[in-house]
Amino acid sequence: MKKKKKVGIIGGAGYTGGETIRLLLNHPDVELSFVQSRSQAGKYLHSIHEDLVGDTTLKFSKDNSLDVDVIFLCLGHGESSTYLNENKIPEKIKIIDLSQDNRIEGGHSFVYGLPELNKQRIQDANRIANPGCFATAIQLGLLPLASEGLLSSIHTTAITGSTGAGRQLQDTTHFSWRSNNISAYKTHTHQHLAEINQSLKSLQSSFHGSLYFIPWRGDFTRGIFVSSTLPFQGDLKSAYTLYRHYYKDHPFTSVSEAMINLKQVVNTNKCLIHIELINDQIVIHSAIDNLIKGASGQAVQNMNLMLGLDETSGLKLKAVAL
């Protein structure tokens, strides 16, 4: 029997921390050594992540151990950089940073951890910047077109669940406000645009970032559903062929000829894509679970790749489905 790798989590009290814990506790090839949290140190994990009652008696630690193979940084934006400045992590410990601090490449050694774009580089990396949730869902809808240089002006609307806004209490995550409600925010200015453009340009250097992105807040907790529209010359069959070819070696991203819906992917690491062609425009619908393929699941997928494990190890998750 292969010896299990040891992993630790920095910042384990938030939503991505909780999801990462859930995935790692059930992962067959790794052992969760510590979960650090400044705010919750000393408390049981299940006092904060209440579903873990009966699953683990681990407590949040104040400090991190360096006797691990992988560290996940589940910290807020900005806090990862601070943490890495204040704590020198040896090169031999792999780091997966779920914040946005290192997603724009250059000036550091972090690789942008979108396996459908960078699988080989991830396998060779010691430092991974895990993509944003909207960024993952939107890119997976566009990468095949970019790979063929087919992107032009793109109109994207995407709706996200409330967990995307994190655990902290806010007016826009108050149940009485959010329930049965829809709203828009950060029109064309969402912070994920930078990493999306970076990826698209890496495949299609002629792309100049005319991606008009309207994010909506949805009245559900988990998931992102995206519809992107752009000019397209080919026929529907060629589009499906292109997408199927692009994703043939990627176990979590599937192309569906039937229309997709969000709950097909909720509580899984999957991305589903459906394509339509109307007149001169292609419409690409894509869906993910924002906390899994959009955060913690993709982080574990990156870990699997970095450690040479099966890419799907610990990630064959039962969909909530209903």
Q: Name residues contacting a copy of itself, limited to 257-296 (CB under 8 A).
A: 258-268, 270, 272, 274, 276, 278-279, 281, 283, 285, 287, 291
Q: Which of 39, 87, 109, 183 binds a copy of itself (CB under 8 A)?
A: 183
- Residue 319 touches a copy of itself, criterion: CB under 8 A: yes
Amino acid at 41: A
Mark residues 195-234: x for contact with a copy of itself by CB under 8 A, - for none: -----------------x-x-x-xxxxxx-x-x-x-----
Residue 150 C-beta: closest distance to a copy of itself, Å = 18
Of 126 and 261, CB closest to a copy of itself: 261
CA–CA distance, 78 with 80 (Å, rounded to integer): 6
Residue 264 C-beta: closest distance to a copy of itself, Å = 5
Residue 278 C-beta: closest distance to a copy of itself, Å = 4
Q: Name residues contacting a copy of itself, limited to 109-148 (CB under 8 A).
A: none
| Token pair 């992917």 in the structure block, residue | 265
| Token pair 């008696």 in the structure block, residue | 57
Assigned token pair, 7: 């992993």
Of 30 and 203, CB closest to a copy of itself: 30
Q: Which residue in 9, 35, 122, 133 is the catalytic one?
A: 133
Of 127 and 178, CB closest to a copy of itself: 178
- Measure CA 101 to chain center: 14
Q: Provide the phi-psi class of 104: left if phi over 0, else alpha when psi is between -120 and 50, else beta.
A: beta
> Is 271 a known active-site residue?
no
CA–CA distance, 285 with 256 (Å, rounded to integer): 10
CA–CA distance, 279 with 164 (Å, rounded to integer): 35
Residue pair 200/145 in contact (Cβ under 8 Å)? The answer is: no
Q: Name residues contacting a copy of itself, limited to 58-97 (CB under 8 A).
A: none
CA nearest neighbour of 300 among 57, 56, 17, 15: 17
Residue 212 C-beta: closest distance to a copy of itself, Å = 6
Q: Which of 12, 15, 40, 239 binds a copy of itself (CB under 8 A)?
A: 15
Order of strands across the sheet with 127-129? Answer: 60-61, 30-36, 5-10, 70-73, 94-97, 127-129, 111-112
CB under 8 A: which stretch of 33-41, 67-75, 98-106, 181-189 binds a copy of itself? 181-189
